[in-house]
Amino acid sequence: MLGIVILNFNGIELLERFLPNIIKYSNNANVYIIDNNSNDGSQKYIKKNFPSVILIQNEKNYGYAEGYNKGLKYVNDEILCLINNDVLVTKNWLTPIINSFINNPNISIAQPTILDLNKKTYFDYAGAAGGFIDKIGYPYCRGRIFNTIEKNENQYFETKEIFWASGACFFIRKNIFKLLNGFDSDFFMHQEEIDLCWRAFNKNIKVFNIGSSLVYHQGGSTLNKENSKKTFYNFRNSFLMLIKNIPIKGFCITISTRILIDFIAFLRFLIIGRFSYAIALIHAYFSIIKYFLRKYNQRQKIHNKNLYYTKKSIVFDYYILKKTKF
């Protein structure tokens, strides 16, 4: 019924640390590893030490989005758990999620509550207790707004409908993944799960945080926060989601506002001496223009008039009103 699927690229040290725990606490689930053509001995290590794990080998490094798209063709379980190779699961992490999927057919996509492995009493940056998006496309979470992280005091313990679930630990029904045509391979990595959830939202498909399920995420294992590539993918992919998913009505105003705010971010990078970030942002916009010219006419038709789950500007609330908690 459940397939736990780990995407790996040169992550042998992470597999050594985290894979035994996933196997130990995932009874009655099939465990798969999709390997993006690692050259660090990952494949040999998996075959030798974990013969029960089903290894799917991609012919090259396709990144997160296309890596999963290709590998999941060989996974036939009804429910998929896409989990990073740097996630530490807890003893009963699966029980509340499986029960939720069984008992509530409206739950098609979900995530557990994700805490920071390096600071266990705090939420994790990548997902926390479920994601939302503001009216100009900036993502934020219950428990994390921009770089402000809340302490976990069980304030988000309940099962709650959210806008997007984190790709660090992402549950989805296989038929829904197929219906949505999987991840957008143009994203390569970062925010492809938000794009998929946005497309799901526009089809009235529900996404939930199952607060009673807990996992811990190490984070920064692929790209740490100081890497300018992270800046490139975050700005580029966030903007691509707007191009793809917002309706024509209000399109120009939304895009213009977003460009203005990104320009302010660019000036800030220059002022504080983050020149690599500023260059990455320029690079992101060149990539956005290429994407827009190539694919804008392929945009999906938006049928859902309720465009956003939240219609406020998180930028205004955070920087002007100083609201730092969800």
pLDDT per residue as tens, the chain (326 positions): 899 999 999 999 999 999 999 999 999 899 999 999 999 999 999 999 999 999 999 999 999 999 999 999 999 999 999 999 999 999 999 999 999 999 999 999 999 999 999 999 999 999 999 999 988 888 999 999 999 999 999 999 999 999 999 999 999 999 999 999 999 998 988 899 999 999 999 899 999 999 999 999 998 766 666 688 889 998 999 998 888 888 777 788 889 999 999 999 999 999 999 999 999 999 999 999 988 887 666 555 544 444 455 667 888 888 888 888 88
**Distance separating alpha carbons of residues 153 and 173, to the nearest angstrom:** 30
> DSSP 3-state assignment of 156?
coil
Phi, psi torsion values for 190, nearest 5 degrees: 80, 120
Model pTM score: 0.91
Q: Which amino acid is at 27?
A: N
Name residues whose C-beta falls within 8 Å of residue 191's C-beta, 6 or more positions apart in sequence.
Answer: 139, 233, 234, 237, 238, 241
